[in-house]
Chain A
Amino acid sequence: MVKFNRFTLDNGLRVIVHEDDTTPMAVLNILYDVGARDEDPDQTGFAHLFEHLMFGGSVNIPDYDQPLQRVGGENNAFTSNDITNYYITLPASNIETAFWLESDRMLSLAFSEKSLEVQRNVVIEEFKQRYLNQPYGDVWLKLRPLVYKKHPYQWATIGKEIKHIEDAKIEDVKAFFKKHYNPQNAVMVVGGDVKTEDIKLLAEKWFGPIPSGEKYHRNLPQEPVQHDERRLTVTGKVPLDDVYIAFQMGARLDDSYYIAELMSDILSRGSSSRLYRNLVKEKPIFSEVHAYMTGSMDKGMFVFEGKPLENISIENAEAAIWAELERLKTELVPEDELTKVQNKIESTMIFSEMALLDKAMNLASFELMGDADMLNHETEKYLAVTKEQIKELSNQMFRKDNSSTMIYLAEKTV
């Protein structure tokens, strides 16, 4: 149970306070309701590039990092296809520094040309380091457009290509800020050794005067139901073949999400899971094989990924995964196996209550989706899932004509 208090400032900023006096630290987490899905198709990677620019100085504070480090704090941020999230951890006694810094960059950035130029380079190096100069690094750049034909999930947060980042202009940065970075499009969570009354005063003082700005109304092309089997084969300088099979699945708030997560646990969580036991241990087909979900706020992906052993053909590797899916579609999951994955969810929730930052991020994310208190009802939703529902959803989802298969072939050296 994660307790919290909640209030909204006149300018529309939603604030959540989680009091936890078991730590001398505090967290200030700000989630902005903007991700790579909100980008222009000709200007991809922008939400993430923008995240870097948020550290390039704000209207009244030329340097963001130094004043925070000076009071013993640390910060970071991440961008996903759905959201951009910034967080600070610092000694609770210095929490006001976090309010000062975060409110100033919500008020306005410095928009420095130098910062844009350097961060374009940094992000291009990030693009190379994570996506181009790694074996299999470009898988998501190729798999996403196979699964999504309409929805902007078809590009990764880093962007479609380096050129989009090279082309970013300071006017684009300003327009993006105006459109997305204001109190109405943000959720703030403050957690740790703090009191709600104090946080109210600080929030009013530092964030209260910020103009509410325009509310961004998202209107994205939705991904149509898939009715065709898709396939892509690429060859590259990788040591081993790799198989990916992706299925379209429900959005994060769909009831089916909870069923799908238990399915992925049955298939792939821990060494008692079906894929590991059957396809790595019993029948040696893969050296590693996993199932996981993207957990996106719009229609997501349920992905299988496996590296077949060297004596196994791609056809046999694919067939082995499909045989496991067939089992889920035709046989009810045994009671014990369902209880096992439900127990694991339950204990994971309890363990996660020991990490302050995780709690703060989760509260922010659920508040954005509608209500922070949903966090406290997650476990019961998983516990309510039945084996009949798992069989039913497997039949709906694991269809050939809902699949996108990508084969990454190792280039044979002569």
Chain B
Amino acid sequence: MTLQRKTAPEFKAIENIHLIHPERRELANGCNVFCFNSGDQELVRIEWIFGNLRFKPESPLLNMAVNSLLTEGTHSLTSAQISDKIDFYGAFLQVDYGHDSSQVTLYSLNKHLHHTLPVIKDILTNSIFPEKELETFVRNQQQKLQVSLQKNDVMARRVFNKALYGDTLYGLSANLDTYNTLNRSDMQSHFAEMYQPSNCTMIVAGKIEPETLNLISNTFDAGWQNTVTKADTSQPAVIAASEHFYYNEKPEALQSAIRMGVPAINRTHPDFPALQVLNTVLGGYFGSRLMANIREEKGYTYGIGSGMSSLKHGAALFIATEVGADVCKLAVNEIEKELNSLQNELIPEAELSLVRNFLMGSLLGSLENVFSHADKFKNLHFAGLDYDYYDRYVNTIKTVTADRLQELAKQYLNFDQFYKVIVGKY
């Protein structure tokens, strides 16, 4: 039999996605612990996730700075001692500040947990934000910021977020001076209010043995108490700007950064999965309309894509790219054409079925290991959703119609309503 090289082999559609559900425990101090037990390797990832406190316009960097400086000293350990202990046991400790929450993450081999966990406990209960470390942090952040401000894509993102989200944690674009608002005493009170068990969710993923759980309970229950003040995690209302067009001219730019989009819906909205399908068609994968036209057909850019950000108090659908400065106007015109075409014409069935299969493959592929299962859970948990969400998501991918997607395009993909930011030449 001769080989049929012109014909694609048979393939199977993905029917079901199996997600590992966590076991939930609650410590006596109110901290919720979610455990994902699986894996052949003798290691574990533990996350301590805290809701950010209410945005303070007079000290806008507090949430970020307190999180960043958690590893910089406690009543009993200096910054150097903390890193020595963690590094010596081959563990990884990181702090991450996000728009809605901030977290501490520990990656550790199980055999070293009894050495590494007490360090985290110390950080979460005894951090002191030493003056010298704060100075170092501010100095280095200010230097890094000077470099970032020279990058067109970074500038475009800052201007875009400010326009969409206004005076909130999401819209913040710090200047060099903003760092001078930080002081130890604000940070200490912020720390005391935010980093307490009732504002903490722990997520444990990896090889979890009874001994692992005992260690966690013993370390993070006894001796970790709530303070009197409950953490205020409410946020000011998001108010988008009235101005929709921003042009920051850079006469010597070789490329222009373009970022444009609209306020949209977050994961809790019933239309979110369908809008994700539409977003994928537009700019969410390599074969998307934007990539096919603006990179693969016209060669205006190295890459263009669209995405959705789903935040607790806001959401956006946006397009981002960097294009040759001489073709910036042409690229913007092509983006407009692609948006209009999704509003005016039905997505052909062949394209839609490809996107359905692609999204299912992507979902399956995103479940690489036990950490990924924990990450899927976080998407749900912090949006107040349960696992039914993924059933709805899968169902929408498989069944959403071209008509429905056209309706959504008419609702969300109006070029005239887009916020548009251009940094470079136009």
Contact = CB atoms under 8 A, between A and B. Distances in A.
B43 A287 contact: no
Contact of B143 (A74, A93, A240): A240
5 contacts: A69-B358, A71-B11, A288-B144, A343-B87, A347-B108
A347 B109 contact: yes
**Which bucket holds chain B's interface residue count?**
35 or more
Nearest to B256: A133
Interface residues of A, number: 82
A125 interface: yes
A287 B139 contact: yes
A91 B364 contact: yes
Given A272-B83, A287-B143, A339-B88, A70 B364 contact: no
Interface in B67-86: 71, 79-80, 83-84, 86
A275 to B, nearest CB: 13
A200 to B, nearest CB: 16
Given A272-B86, A351-B41, 11 more contacts: A61-B6, A74-B285, A89-B365, A96-B9, A129-B322, A237-B252, A270-B86, A270-B87, A280-B140, A309-B139, A347-B90
B42 interface: yes
B252 to A, nearest CB: 8
Contacts of B10: 96
Contacts of A71: 11, 357, 361
A96 to B, nearest CB: 4
A46 B368 CA distance: 34
A386 interface: no
Contact of B90 (A96, A123, A346): A346
Nearest to B353: A70
A269 B83 CA distance: 11
A65 interface: yes
B143 A343 contact: no
Contacts of B80: 272, 277, 281
A339 to B, nearest CB: 7
A238 to B, nearest CB: 7
Contacts of A93: 11-12
Contact of A121 (B71, B140, B299, B369): B299
Most A CB contacts (10 A, CB to CB) among B3, B136, B252, B295 go to B3
Contact of B299 (A120, A135, A287, A340): A120
B147 A240 contact: yes
Nearest to A104: B5
A205 interface: yes
B255 A125 contact: yes
Given A125-B302, A351-B107, A239 B255 contact: no
B331 to A, nearest CB: 11
A120 to B, nearest CB: 7
A317 to B, nearest CB: 13
B8 A72 contact: no
A171 interface: no
Interface in B33-67: 39-43
B151 A134 contact: yes
Interface string A45-62: 000000000000001110
B146 interface: yes
Contact of A25 (B91, B295, B365, B370): B365
Contacts of B143: 240, 287-288, 307, 309-310
Interface of B is mostly: mixed
A122 B301 contact: yes
B283 interface: no
Interface stretch (A250-258, A352-360, A396-404): A352-360
B399 interface: no
A22 B14 contact: no
A121 B300 contact: yes
B43 A351 contact: yes
Nearest to B153: A129
A25 B364 contact: yes
B88 A340 contact: yes
Contacts of A350: 41-43, 109
- Please give me the 4 A-B residue pairs with the lowest Cβ-Cβ distance, nearest first: A72-B361, A121-B299, A347-B90, A343-B90
Contacts of B14: 72, 91
Given A121-B300, A281-B136, A336 B11 contact: no
A401 B10 CA distance: 62
Contacts of A209: 3
A60 to B, nearest CB: 4
A400 B91 CA distance: 35
Contacts of B383: none
Interface string B305-337: 000000000000000001110000000000000
Nearest to B85: A272
B297 interface: yes
Contacts of B237: none
Interface in B339-383: 353-355, 357-358, 360-362, 364-365, 367-371
A283 B319 CA distance: 44
A70 B88 contact: no
Interface in A334-368: 336, 339-340, 343-348, 350-351, 353-356
A354 B150 contact: no
A150 interface: no
Contacts of B221: none
